[in-house]
Amino acid sequence: MYREKIDAYFEAKAERMTEAVRRLVRIRSVRSEPLPGMPFGEGVSKALSEALKIASELGFSPVNLDNYVGFADINGRDTELCIIAHLDTVPEGEGWTKPPFEGLVEDGKIYGRGAQDNKGPAVAALFALAAARELNSSLSKNARLVLGTSEETGGEDLKYYFSRERKAPFTFTPDADFPVINTEKGRWAPAFGAAWEESAALPRIVSVRGGDAVNLVPHEATAVVEGLDIELLEEFSDMIAEVSGTEFTFEEKGSQVIIKAKGRNAHAAEPQKGNNALTAMLFLLSHLVFAKSEGFSMICALNSLFPHGDYLGKELGIAMKDEPSGELTLNLSQMDYTLTGFSARFDCRFPVCGTRESVAEAAIKSLKERGISVTGSDEFVEPHHTPADSGFVRALLRAYEDYTGKKGYCSATGGGTYVHGIEGAVAFGCSMPGTDNRMHGADEFAVIDDLIKSAKIFTQAILEICG
């Protein structure tokens, strides 16, 4: 019904949309120290101010809620659809070959931190609101775009928003992938550990360290051992390296040998895509001959509970799967072992069927049987699921199919999206299937044609849901 008009609208607005994205990318909106009236720092507040200025230029009367969030409405009627995007970004990091804060346009792409995550999609949603308002000025319901500012750093923005504004019947975020992500696994990432008396008996393990962040597969791990011959270590490690796919190197320092393991990084939500250097190190150490001690017994226990290659939690006793969300995943993320104890964290993403009893309590039981206690960070995030056959989801999938010519479907993710926990909400765009926009990486980019196509999809969805 609206296809030709929607196409014509965005053909006329393509350059203006592109420039709007560039205006936002030029602002470094990484969270910093709070300032008066700027809860997440100056850069984030500037980005929100600029986005609301763009909304005003499009004829909206946007609202700024104390620099936590801003929002724009199509009309003054009851809000039926809420679209939630964010303007804050992760730091630029290293390795860029393009300027991270210029909004460089090259080969049909806009380069820069936040171009895809999530400033480009935010602009696409804003222009979709403008298009829907122009194409049907008598919509019976309102659609609202909410622009958040702390998605990357804890989500205080949405907590603030929902403490003041009611939840809409339907919500989506363009902060993920097309077609629709309707299921998000739960998460549990506890700290755990144990302590014991130091043993001076040789050979012994002096230290083990690995892992930079709880939500990453550790790609490096280091151990220091004492009283073992380096040549024997090198010879034995060849077999472990072949089995684990991990590279080991050795350096002799006096009576000690420093062992380094090198694996492959990945997000903890998809540990199968990485190669865990920390579990590979435990695999190696547990198969060496050390003097009997509580410390060495603990290394063997950890190797049994988190064996290399077991990213499903089988040995921890929490493996499970279901139809909507797939299998539980487990990643031993961080560890610091000394002569008198160890502390560690793992990251578990569990399916919709998972409960505190079947996940947390079962894991705690397995750890306790080996003399290990959960010591903190025991936040248990429930899974999120919206039925795939809801009228809302079907409307989104129809819009996707109309403008891409591809079959729409629902999928699950181990990572949490911006709408995790909002009843009935889903993630919808803006990354097209098969496109790696390098979000959180160097040379992040948004494909201009994909942003315009996303805006068309959003426009149709708004018109159908609010019409």
Task: Give the residue numbers marked as catalytic.
Answer: 88, 151
CA angle 329, 426, 387 (to 5 degrees): 80
Give, rounded to a whole angstrom, the gap between the first and last alpha carbons of the chain: 12
Query: What CA–CA distance (Å, rounded) separates 142 from 96?
Result: 41
Give the containing element (helix H, strand E) for 243.
helix 230-244
Query: What CA–CA distance (Å, rounded) separates 390 from 324?
Result: 14
Residue with tokens 């008198």: 340
Q: Is 260 left (phi over 0), alpha (psi -120 to 50) or beta?
A: beta
Token couple for 125: 């949603």
Q: Can you give the three-state secondary structure of 381-425, one letter per residue? A: ECCEECCCCCHHHHHHHHHHHHHHCCCCCEEEECCCCCCCCCCCC
Burial code (b: 16+ CB inside 10 Å, e: under 16) for 368-385 equals eeeebebeeeeebbbbbb
Give the CA dihedral 457, 458, 463, 464, nearest 10 degrees. 70
Is the CA virtual torsion 465, 412, 357, 151 positive or negative?
A: negative
Q: Can you give the three-state secondary structure of 52-83, one letter per residue? A: HHHHHHCCCCCEEECCCEEEEECCCCCEEEEE
**446 three-class SS:** strand
Bridge partners (DSSP) listed for residue 217: 266
Cβ(323)–Cβ(160) below 8 Å: no
CA distance readout (Å), 42 to 67, 121, 396: 10, 22, 36
Bridge partners (DSSP) listed for residue 17: none
Residue with tokens 């939630």: 84
Query: What CA–CA distance (Å, rounded) separates 445 from 384?
Result: 29
